[in-house]
Structure 1
Amino acid sequence: MTDSDTALYITVLLYLVPGQEQAFAEYEAYALDLLVRHGGQVVCRVRPSGETFLAPGQEHPYEIQVLAFPSSAIFEQFMQDPARQARTDQRRQAIRETLLITGRVNR
């Protein structure tokens, strides 16, 4: 079994455009539904506050997500989905910056 055949976990740090929480909520509802239709899973979502973020003095993300996909290929299909691509402007209106960290479970 190769890495491309094993589950892919992605930690997503999302930084919003100030004042665009509602636009983010609308985009996120669409994107997460599409993710599930592609076989992905939302493992968890966390909205840290300044008190809970363990890097004092640094900007904390609006939301942190842990996502899982059955394989890298399925993740790429989700990322390249024309329906997702059609919402690029909506995404840019709400999300200023995204940081993705990928990994696989070691057994």
Structure 2
Amino acid sequence: MIYLTMMIFVKEGKEQIFDEFEAQAIPILKDYQGELIYRIRTKKEDYLVNSEETPYEIHFISFPSEEDFHRFAKDERRKEFIHLKEESIKYSYLVKGVKL
């Protein structure tokens, strides 16, 4: 099992486009045994320490294997609306981990 934490930074004014991308991408996770465990949208005042820009959302996702994650990322249906992601996301951090 792998766990992925994604910190997502959305371009100002592009939040609705990002939400449209997510509405289409999240259901595809299940086709690759992926699970969105947490989808968190926070405000700057929610952070105890924040030395950088505040992410728009934080996702915590699991997949049975790294291969399942790569298959999800290359899914042909996802490619049909990937332009929404590219238009709305400024940048993101992806951190891979395992359960200890």
Q: Normalising to structure 2: TM-score of the pair? A: 0.92
Identity %: 31
Deviation track 1:30-79 (CA, whole Å, cap 9, x = no partner) reads 11011122210011111121111233352110000100001111011001
Q: Does 2:62 align with 1:80?
A: no
Gapped regions of structure 2 (runs ≥ 5): none
The residue type paired with residue 70 of structure 1 is P
What RMSD over aligned residues (CA atoms) do the two structures have, in Å? 1.2
The code of the aligned residue for 1:52 comes to D
Matched, 1:41 2:41: no
Gaps of 5+ in 1: 1-6
Q: 2:25 aligns with which of 23, 31, 37?
A: 31
1:18 aligns with 2:12: yes
Q: Which has the larger radius of gyration?
A: 1
Runs of 4+ in 1 over 3 A off after TM superposition: none
Cα distance between partner residues in 2 of 1:21 and 1:87: 15
Asked if the contact 2:21/2:82 (under 8 Å) is kept, the reply is: no
**Count of aligned pairs between the two proteins:** 100
